[in-house]
Structure formats: structure tokens, C-alpha cells
Amino acid sequence: MLCGLSRQVLTLTVALTVSAGALFAAEPQKDANVKDALSFTMESLAGEKVDLSKYRGKVVLMVNVASECGATPQYGPLQSLYSKYQDKGLVVLGFPCNQFGSQEPGSAAEIQQFCTANYGVTFPMFAKIDVNGDDAAPLYKYLTSKETNPKHAGRVGWNFEKFLIGRDGQIVARFPTPVDPASDDVVEAIERELAKK
């Protein structure tokens, strides 16, 4: 009887150990190469690999964009910000996303044509990505993670959410869709970061 009980306990212990091992193995491992928001490589709208570390030392405004959204006119003030502050170290990065109301259905060529023809966009644009869920781009998993971004964490709510990244690659502010890029809050945050050397 005792021998049978010991065998059951041993079997249960082994099963629990194996289950725990599987559980820990399933947890995503932290990438030692990811130090900040500029540690990622993304694909440009033209299909080229872009190492975001090339923007280190600049102030970066990352925005998930769409061509058929009520907020699409924000392309205008985003381009104005880029034109005004580019020489002082600001870069605006546009990341097309079709996750919200399927409002970015176009191909890369169609997105480029739309942005250029309608808003004269000259800031860097990237290939279409997901910003939420299992298939979200690693950059956006980083931007929205409670672990890496406790102050501004959470799922992206809609198109044209704006993440402001300081010269050191750290996330310093996040602005939801309704906040116009030309608003005092956004401009003051950008100017504050640009003033830091």
C-alpha cells in the first residue's frame, strides 16, 4: 500500500515538474538585443529593411496610420511637424495598419501614392503591420507592453495613436487618436525632448 502510494506521489511529482517546465518554456524569452524602442528592424514601404537604431539621438514620433479613417487628415499636421522640426532632430515614422475598421486596405504602392498626393508626406513610411494581438509587430508589442512601458502601456485603441520616443530610445509620451499632432500637448512634448542633448 505504502509502495503504491509512493509511486503515485512520484508520478504526480514528475507530472507537475514536466508541466511547470512546459509552462516556463512557453513564456516569451526577453531578447537581450532589445534595449529600447529603437532596437528593432522594420520594413519600409519600399520593401527595404530599416534598422531603427539609425534614429538614435533623434526625437521620434511613431504613429500607426490609415488612409480611410476619420483621423486621416492628421497626416497634414504630422508632415508639418516633420518639416518644421526635422533640422532640429525630429523624425516622424508612419506605420500603416489595417486592424481598425479595415481602414488601410491598400497596397504599399497605393499607400505611398495616397500619402504623397494628398498630404505631401516626406517622412519615412513603413510596410503595413499589426499593432495589437499575437501578430503585432515586435516594435508595437514593446511599445504597448506593461513590462517595457509601464507608464504608457495598453493596446492601441485606433488609428493615429502617437508614441513619442526620446533621443535615448525611451518612450516619453503617448497620445491617443483624438489628440491632434498640432496640439499644444504634442508640440510642447516634442520641443521639450528636442531641447535635451
Ordered mean pLDDT values, 10 residues apiece, the chain (197 residues): 43 38 35 81 97 97 98 98 98 98 96 97 98 96 90 94 96 97 98 95
Strands 162-165 and 171-175: antiparallel
Strands 90-96 and 162-165: unpaired
Q: b/e for 159-172, b at 16 or more Cβ within 10 A?
A: bbbbbbbbbebebb
Q: Model-level pTM?
A: 0.83
Q: Which residues pair with 60 in a beta bridge?
A: 91, 165
Residue type, 121: V
Separation between Cα atoms, residue 72 and residue 103, nearest integer Å: 10
Q: Which residues pair with 175 in a beta bridge?
A: 162
Separation between Cα atoms, residue 81 and residue 76, nearest integer Å: 9
pLDDT value of residue 31: 55
Q: Which is catalytic among the residues 3, 69, 97, 115?
A: 69
pLDDT value of residue 15: 40
pLDDT value of residue 165: 97
Q: Tell me, yes or no, if 69 is annotated catalytic.
A: yes
pLDDT value of residue 152: 85
pLDDT value of residue 35: 85
Which residues does 64 contact at the CB level (< 8 Å), separation at least 6? 95, 96, 97, 129, 131, 140, 156, 159, 160, 161
